[in-house]
Structure 1
Amino acid sequence: MNLLERITVNPAQCGGRPCIRGMRLRVSDVLDLLGAGVSIEDVLADYPDLEREDIQAALLWAARYINHPRLSA
């Protein structure tokens, strides 16, 4: 499975924000935890349905998202 396939967007779920594998765990939630200094092991322990590849997918998604050019008027 391609890592980015783990990131899902459903307009009827979490306001259409990117989530992990259709769960109500947003990519931003994972990134906030990591940014706050929570270790990957602790995140995985706190969210037993989460897999290490999900965290890698969230990081990859974020890297691609911020590297995406945007045009402003």
Structure 2
Amino acid sequence: MSLLERVTVNPLQCGGRPCLRGMRIRVSDVLDLLGAGVSIETVLEDYPDLEREDIYAALLWAARYIDHPRLSA
């Protein structure tokens, strides 16, 4: 499984927001924790269903998302 395949979007789950591996753990939740200075190790302890690769996937997804050009009308 590639890192980006770990990010799933289901319109019936979490309002269609990107989650990790079909779980109800949103990419944005992981990014918020990391942005607040919480270590990867602590995130993994707090969310035992997460794997280290899930955190890397969230970071990669965010990097790709913000680098996507947006057109304004």
Settle same-fold status: TM greater than 0.5. yes
**For the aligned residues, what is the CA RMSD?**
0.3
Structure 1 unaligned spans of 5+: none
Residue identity over aligned pairs, in percent, reads 88
Cα distance in 1 for partners of 2:72, 2:17 equals 22
Match of 1:31, SS state, is helix
Unaligned residue ranges in structure 2 (runs of 5+):
none
Output aligned runs, 1:1-73, within 5 Å.
1-73=1-73
Length-normalised TM-score, structure 2: 0.99
1:15 counterpart letter in structure 2: G
Count of matched residue pairs: 73
Q: State the secondary structure of the residue aligned to 1:10.
A: coil
Q: Measure, in 2, the Cα distance between the counterparts of 1:46 and 1:2.
A: 24
